[in-house]
Amino acid sequence: FSSTTPIKATLFPGDGIGPEIAESVKQVFTAADVVIDWDEQFVGTEVDPRTNSFLTWENLQSVLKNKVGLKGPMATPIGKGHRSLNLTLRKELNLYANVRPCYSLPGYKTRYDDVDLITIRENTEGEYSGLEHQVVKGVVESLKIITRKASMRVAEYAFLYAKTHGRKKVSAIHKANIMQKTDGLFLQCCDEVAKKYPEIYYEKVVIDNCCMMLVKNPALFDVLVMPNLYGDIISDLCAGLVGGLGLTPSMNIGEDGIALAEAVHGSAPDIAGKNLANPTALLLSGVMMLRHLKLNKQAEQIHSAIINTIAEGKYRTADLGGISTTTDFTKAICDHL
Amino acid sequence: FSSTTPIKATLFPGDGIGPEIAESVKQVFTAADVVIDWDEQFVGTEVDPRTNSFLTWENLQSVLKNKVGLKGPMATPIGKGHRSLNLTLRKELNLYANVRPCYSLPGYKTRYDDVDLITIRENTEGEYSGLEHQVVKGVVESLKIITRKASMRVAEYAFLYAKTHGRKKVSAIHKANIMQKTDGLFLQCCDEVAKKYPEIYYEKVVIDNCCMMLVKNPALFDVLVMPNLYGDIISDLCAGLVGGLGLTPSMNIGEDGIALAEAVHGSAPDIAGKNLANPTALLLSGVMMLRHLKLNKQAEQIHSAIINTIAEGKYRTADLGGISTTTDFTKAICDHL
Ligand SMILES: CC(C)[C@H](C(=O)O)[C@@H](O)C(=O)O
Ligand SMILES: CC(C)[C@H](C(=O)O)[C@@H](O)C(=O)O
When mean pLDDT is compared across A96-110, B48-62, B153-167, the lowest value belongs to: B48-62
Partner-chain residue, chosen from B112, B179, B214, that has the shortest CB–CB distance to A142: B179
Nearest CA to ligand 2 atom 9: B232
Which one of A104, A142, A237, A247 would you mutate to disrupt binding with B, by most B Cβ within 10 Å of its Cβ?
A142
Q: Confidence band (pLDDT; 50, 70, 90) for A77?
A: confident
Cβ atoms of residues B10 and B68 within 8 Å: yes
Q: What are the chain B neighbours of A239 within 8 Å (beta carbons)?
A: 212
Distance (Å, rounded) from C-alpha A168 to C-alpha A165?
A: 9
Q: Residue B325: its pLDDT value, please?
A: 97
Interface-testing mutation among A86, A121, A141, A228, with chain B (most B C-beta atoms within 10 A): A141
Which sign, positive or negative, has the C-alpha torsion B209, B215, B221, B224?
Answer: positive
| C-alpha span between B229 and B218 (Å, rounded) | 20
Question: Is the per-residue pLDDT at B77 higher than 90?
Answer: no
Answer yes or no: do B177 and A111 touch at CB < 8 A.
no
Q: Is the pLDDT of residue B300 over 90?
A: yes
Side chain identity, residue A10: T
Partners of B196 in the beta sheet?
none
How many Cβ atoms from other residues are within 10 Å of residue A269's Cβ? Answer: 12
* Lowest-confidence segment of A10-24, B47-61, B220-234 by average pLDDT: B47-61
Question: By the 8 A CB rule, do B120 and B99 touch?
Answer: yes
CB contact under 8 A, B140 and A146: yes
Q: Is the pLDDT of residue A104 over 90?
A: yes
Task: Please judge whether A182 and B141 are an interchain contact, meaning their C-beta atoms are less than 8 angstroms apart.
Answer: yes
pLDDT at B305: 98
Q: Are B208 and A138 an interchain contact pair (Cβ–Cβ within 8 Å)?
A: no
Q: Quick one: closest CA in A to B245, which residue?
A: A212
Average pLDDT of B24-38? 97
- Determine how many CB atoms are found less than 10 A away from the CB of residue B175: 25
**Closest residue of chain B to A236, computed from CA coordinates:** B212
Percentage, residues of chain A above pLDDT 70? 97
In the A/B pair of chains, how many CB contacts fall below 8 A?
A: 163
User: Running DSSP on this structure, what letter comes out for residue A5?
Assistant: S
Q: Are strands A223-226 and A169-174 parallel, antiparallel or unpaired?
A: parallel
Residue-wise pLDDT tens digits, A122-161: 999 999 999 999 999 999 999 999 999 999 999 999 999 9
| Residue B53 pLDDT level (bands cut at 50, 70, 90) | confident
A-chain residues near B214 (CB < 8 A): 237, 240
CB spacing of B146 vs A146 below 8 angstroms: no
Q: Which atom, in ligand 1's list, is nearest to the CA of B206?
A: 9
pLDDT band for position B79 (cuts 50, 70, 90): low
Determine whether A236 is an active site residue. Answer: yes
pLDDT at A69: 98
Instruction: Report the alpha-carbon distance of residue A52 to residue A251 in Å, rounded.
Output: 24
Nearest residue in A to B110, CA atom: A216
pLDDT of residue B80: 55
What pLDDT, in 10s, does the model give residues B143-200? Answer: 999 999 999 999 999 999 999 999 999 999 999 999 999 999 999 999 999 999 999 9
Q: What pTM does this model have?
A: 0.96
Give the pocket of ligand 1 (CB within 6 Å): A 84, 86-87, 232, 264; B 177-178, 208
What tens digit of pLDDT does each residue of B242-282 get? 999 999 999 999 999 999 999 999 999 999 999 999 999 99
Q: Is B246 helix (H, G, I), strand (E, B) or coil?
A: coil
Average pLDDT, chain A: 95
Mean pLDDT over each residue of chain B, to the nearest integer: 95
User: Per-residue pLDDT for A315 more than 70?
Assistant: yes
